[in-house]
């Protein structure tokens, strides 16, 4: 009985000290928050902050000079194209291209430079490049004031075993690809897409279209 009472006393003391420590921490935190909220400078926004959405004045002074052009990019590419066969997806009714891995690897492939066509849209702040030949992807986005490319780009195009299980391969080309109609990157990431460019006084519109899905 005495042993039980001692255990109960230990529990009471532990709970008591726990309550005291919790109270101290709560008091300190509340006091810090009060002091912080009482200081007007603590809640001031950085001097570089700009309101969003932009003001009417900002809209009027926004750059409207948008350019569109074609450029060529050279990417080191493995010779995989000749080892592709077309297979029909029984669920979606969409053809996709499957790589004959045995034949491809048996050829001991080596990469070589290959030219691809880019569609480049550019204004004062951004330079955006589209790569229609590889699934109409957004290949590159350059923030011109810093020259920083915000997207990953692989300098080599080499088949990997990633991708949809039925398709069994994928190119980690980088950029932003359109992943449909199945998971794991979809089927259309490596297909050539059609493009349409419309220019007007309001700017430039570039449409990339998956022509494979129309079949």
DSSP track, 125-147: SEEEEEEGGGTTEEEEEEETTTT
What pLDDT does residue 6 have?
Answer: 46
Here the tokens at position 73 are: 């990019």
Report pLDDT digits (tens) over 17-76.
444 444 433 343 334 333 333 333 333 333 333 334 445 544 443 445 888 999 999 999
Q: Looking at the structure, do residues 130 and 204 belong to the same domain, yes or no?
A: yes
Whether residue 50 is contained in a domain is answered as: no
Q: Looking at the structure, do residues 69 and 95 belong to the same domain, yes or no?
A: yes
The residues facing 130 across adjacent strands are: 119, 138
Whether residue 174 is contained in a domain is answered as: yes
Whether residue 49 is contained in a domain is answered as: no
Q: Looking at the structure, do residues 31 and 98 belong to the same domain, yes or no?
A: no
Q: Looking at the structure, do residues 78 and 130 belong to the same domain, yes or no?
A: yes
Lowest-pLDDT choice from 11-20, 59-68, 121-130, 198-207 = 11-20
- Higher-confidence residue of 39 and 85: namely 85
Give the Cα separation of 131 and 193 in Å (integer). 9
Q: Looking at the structure, do residues 14 and 74 belong to the same domain, yes or no?
A: no
Q: Looking at the structure, do residues 108 and 197 belong to the same domain, yes or no?
A: yes
Q: If you write DSSP's letter for every residue of 47-79 in order, what string do you get?
A: TT---SSPPHHHHHHS----EEEEEEEEEEE-S
Q: Looking at the structure, do residues 139 and 81 belong to the same domain, yes or no?
A: yes
Strands 156-157 and 67-77: parallel
What domain range includes position 28? 2-43
Is the per-residue pLDDT at 144 higher than 60? yes
What pLDDT does residue 192 have?
Answer: 92
Tell me the average pLDDT of the chain.
76
Q: Looking at the structure, do residues 95 and 34 belong to the same domain, yes or no?
A: no
Whether residue 51 is contained in a domain is answered as: no
What is the total count of domains within the chain? 2
In a 10 Å sphere around its CB, with 0-12 CB exposed, 13-18 middle and 19+ buried, how is residue 122 labelled?
middle
pTM of the entire structure? Answer: 0.67
Is the per-residue pLDDT at 5 higher than 90? no
Whether residue 73 is contained in a domain is answered as: yes
What pLDDT does residue 163 have?
Answer: 86
SS3 content of the chain, % helix, strand, coil (to 5): 30, 35, 35
């Amino acid at each position: 009985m005495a042993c039980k009472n001692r255990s109960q006393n230990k529990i009471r003391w532990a709970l008591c000290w726990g309550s005291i420590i919790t109270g101290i921490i709560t008091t300190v935190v509340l006091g810090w928050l009060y002091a912080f909220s009482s200081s007007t400078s603590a809640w001031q926004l950085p001097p570089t902050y700009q309101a969003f959405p932009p003001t009417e004045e900002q809209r009027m002074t926004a750059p409207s000079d948008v350019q569109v052009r074609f450029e060529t990019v050279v990417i080191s590419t493995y010779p995989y194209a000749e080892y592709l066969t077309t297979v029909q997806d029984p669920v979606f009714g969409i053809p996709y291209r499957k790589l004959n891995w045995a034949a491809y690897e048996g050829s001991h492939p080596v990469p070589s430079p290959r030219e691809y066509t880019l569609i480049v849209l550019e204004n004062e702040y951004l330079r955006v490049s589209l790569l229609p030949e590889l699934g109409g992807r957004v290949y590159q986005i350059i923030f011109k004031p810093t020259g920083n490319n915000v997207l990953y780009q692989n300098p080599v195009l080499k088949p990997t075993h990633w991708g949809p299980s039925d398709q069994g391969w994928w190119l980690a080309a980088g950029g932003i690809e359109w992943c449909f109609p199945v998971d794991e990157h979809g089927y259309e990431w490596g297909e050539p897409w059609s493009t349409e460019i419309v220019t007007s006084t309001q700017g430039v519109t570039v449409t990339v279209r998956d022509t494979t899905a129309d079949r």
